[in-house]
Amino acid sequence: MRNEGIGSWPARRARKTPHRTALVHGSHHLSYAGLHERSSRLAQALRAAGVRRGDRVAYLGPNHPAYLETLFAAGLLGAVFVPLNTRLAGPEIAYQLRDSGTRALLYAPECAALVPRDAPPTAVEIGPGYEELLAGADAGPIDETVAPDDLCLIMYTSGTTGRPKGVMLTHANLVWNAFNVLVDHDLTADERALVTAPLFHTAALNMLTLPVLLKGGTCVLVDSFDPAATLELIDEHRITFMFGVPTMYDLIARQPGWDGADLSSLRLLTCGGAPVPTPLIRTYQSRGLTFLQGYGMTEAAPGTLFLDAEHATSKVGSVGVPHFFSDVRVLGPDEHPMAPGALGEVAVRGPHVAAGYWGLPEETAAAFRDGWFHSGDAARVDEDGYVTIADRVKDMYISGGENVSPAEVELALLAHPDVAECAVIAVPDGKWGEVGRAVFVAREGSEPDPQEVLASLAGVLAKYKIPKSAVRVEQLPRTASGKLLKHKVRAQHGN
């Protein structure tokens, strides 16, 4: 094969394990041979519609085999895949389609209202029309020359402070990230992964689905996350590998069926996106399960740091050490590594780090410097090389001459039994310059007193880190992908 990219994976897998199940979606099972044939037919159909090397092909819809068929079909043509977030509003979808210059769009029926009027030249709804398209397409192989450094996909960041940026990930970026997962997670060929997090997020796609398919395992695709159904699916499909954010795992553990659920098949529980509260870790440990925490970012495809099971307790709060093929530094303002325990900015280098931002040369030059991607996240590294993420550099504040990390305070607040979500911001103070204010959402059925919540931090945090005020709210502002919008919290509660 001349194709050295992601698009060749179904063909390479089909010649090794054609009859093994690649994907499960509801009652539908798709073998690797079937995935190869369907991806090839879709590639032929897209080529017949005028899609060529370098053209952008977008997908808008929940988790579904067609998502991966589109990714692989684009890769067969040397085209560029653009996954779209179904939680965005119509104008946001339209912006990403225009910004990427998408030529072909495949979308689920339930997302039809999000498709802009000036849709790309080729727009195909997943359903009967999609199946007719595949059935009528040439089944012959496609063997375009695709090099590892060719662009594979454009994945848009959440845009917490402005317009989202399109991160350019090459085929090599995804391959090396998958290698990191295979090495550090020790995946096996009989892995059965439950994919409940949306595939348009980099972790669900690149830290779970693609590594499992590379290894020849099975991915069970679920349209949307349901905590009660998750317990049933684990038992039904004998799931061995899951990924989720802390909120998802918390909801699962709060289900009435938690204590009696059969979780004996589970081997790997990976978690990212936010720090994991210690009580949640203990809840899963009580069932004989251990979280494998990590830290990543879209610009690193995304795996960067990883905390293995052996150190899950001894290094609790840390996100571990660099993945096998990653290099990470914690840098000071002079871009020299900081001493152990000192705060600095996380920078990462490796073959999985993105080529830059689509159409944004100035932003690319500012963030990707001398081979290192500068994340904007603040962290500390201990004497053993384990990294603890503190916060976004811009979210840190100084109270009475002391640096305060809101994320550290938020993690302590989440240990309170009646706090479901929280955000800590800085507000002006005549004596200390700045002090913290906690903005929190109460757990359903509880009405905690804000001052009592703050009092619970005494003896847990240094006095200067404890917020001076607290506000209980119904909800916190978030992006469509669930990221907290700190600038909106400041605007609403910072005075």
387 located within any domain: no
Task: Judge contact between 7 and 57, C-beta under 8 A.
Answer: no
Please tell me whether residues 293 and 436 are part of one structural domain: no
- Do residues 407 and 348 both lie within one domain? no
Considering the domain architecture, whether residues 424 and 374 belong to the same structural domain is answered as no
Q: Is the peptide bond before 417 cis (omega within 30 degrees of 0)?
A: no
- Which of 381, 407, 424 terminates a domain? The answer is 381
On whether both 356 and 406 belong to a single domain, the answer is: no
Task: Compute CA distances 458 → 111, 279, 428, 463, 465, whole Å.
Answer: 48, 18, 22, 7, 10
Binning the chain into helix, strand and coil, the percentages to the nearest 5 are 35, 30, 40
Would you call 160 exposed, middle or buried from its count of C-beta atoms within 10 A (0-12, 13-18, 19+)? middle
Structural domain includes residue 367: yes
300 backbone dihedrals φ, ψ, rounded to 5° = -115, 10
Phi and psi angles of residue 373, each rounded to the nearest 5 degrees, phi first: -95, 125
Q: Which of 305, 299, 321 is nearest to 366 (CA)?
A: 299
Distances (CA, A) of 351 to 90, 149, 339: 35, 10, 26
pLDDT (0 to 100) of residue 158: 65
Handedness of CA 38, 238, 12, 168 (dihedral sign): positive
449 Cβ contact list (under 8 Å, min separation 6): none
Tokens of 402: 């002391």
Q: Pull the structure tokens for residue 209.
A: 């689905």
CB 471, CB 493: distance < 8 Å:
yes
Which is it for the CA torsion 246, 63, 326, 156, positive or negative?
negative
Residue 422 within any structural domain of the chain: yes
- Are 97 and 245 members of one domain? yes
Measured CA distances, 271 to 152, 203, 207, 309 (Å): 25, 9, 10, 12
Q: Is residue 390 part of a domain?
A: no
Determine, yes or no, domain membership for 1.
no
Cα 427 from chain centroid (whole Å): 31
- Could you tell me if residue 288 is inside a domain? yes
State residue 433's pLDDT score: 81
Q: Is 391 inside a domain boundary?
A: no
Q: Which of 47, 39, 49, 50 is nearest to 13 (CA)?
A: 39
Among 381, 404, 420, residue at a domain's last position: 381
Please indicate, yes or no, whether residues 87 and 183 belong to a single structural domain of this protein.
yes
Same domain, 138 and 94: yes
User: How far is 184 from 172, CA to CA, in rounded Å?
Assistant: 18
The pTM of the full predicted model, rounded to 2 decimals, is 0.85
Q: What residues make up the domain containing 423?
A: 396-493
In degrees, to the nearest 5, what angle opens at C-alpha 196 toward C-alphas 313 and 268?
Answer: 30
Report how many domains make up the chain: 2
Asked if residue 30 is part of any domain, the answer here is: yes
- The Cα–Cα gap between 75 and 119 comes to 22
Shared-domain flag, residues 25 and 117:
yes
Residues 495 and 493: their CA atoms lie apart, in Å, by 6
In 3D space, the residue among 71, 60, 148 whose CA is nearest the CA of residue 108 turns out to be 60
Residue 276: the pLDDT is: 78
Strand-pair partners of 166: 156
Q: Based on the fold, state whether residues 280 and 254 are members of the same structural domain.
A: yes
How many other C-beta atoms lie within 10 A of the C-beta of residue 92?
Answer: 19
User: In which residue are the tokens 């910072």 written?
Assistant: 494
> For the purposes of burial, counting CB atoms within 10 Å of the CB of 362, is it exposed (0-12), middle (13-18) or buried (19 or more)?
exposed
Taking CA 482 as the corner, what is the angle to CA 250 and CA 428, rounded to the nearest 5 degrees? 100
Look at residue 151 in the predicted model and tell me its pLDDT: 98
* Chain centroid offset of residue 474 CA: 26
**pLDDT for the residue 459:** 86
Q: What is the structure's pLDDT at 437?
A: 96
Please report, in tens digits, the pLDDT of each residue of the chain (495 residues total). Answer: 999 999 999 999 999 999 999 999 999 999 999 999 999 999 999 999 999 999 999 999 999 999 999 999 999 999 999 999 998 888 889 999 999 999 999 999 999 999 999 999 999 999 999 999 999 999 899 999 999 999 999 999 865 445 789 999 999 999 999 999 999 999 999 999 999 999 998 999 999 999 999 999 999 999 999 999 999 999 999 999 999 988 889 999 999 999 999 999 999 999 987 777 778 888 998 999 988 989 999 999 999 999 998 888 888 889 999 999 999 999 998 899 999 999 899 999 999 999 999 999 999 999 999 999 999 888 999 999 999 988 776 777 878 767 687 888 898 899 999 999 999 999 988 778 889 999 999 999 999 999 999 999 998 887 889 999 999 999 999 876 677 888 899 999 987
One domain, residues 447 and 305: no
**Domain of residue 146, CATH code:** 3.40.50.12780
Same domain, 404 and 342: no
Report yes or no: 375 and 387 within 8 Å, Cβ to Cβ: no
For position 191, what pLDDT does the model report?
A: 98
CATH code of residue 428: 3.30.300.30
Domain end position, chosen among 381, 407, 429: 381
* Cα(221)–Cα(269) distance, integer angstroms: 17
* Same-domain check for residues 448 and 339: no
Query: Would you call 420 exposed, middle or buried from its count of C-beta atoms within 10 A (0-12, 13-18, 19+)?
Result: middle
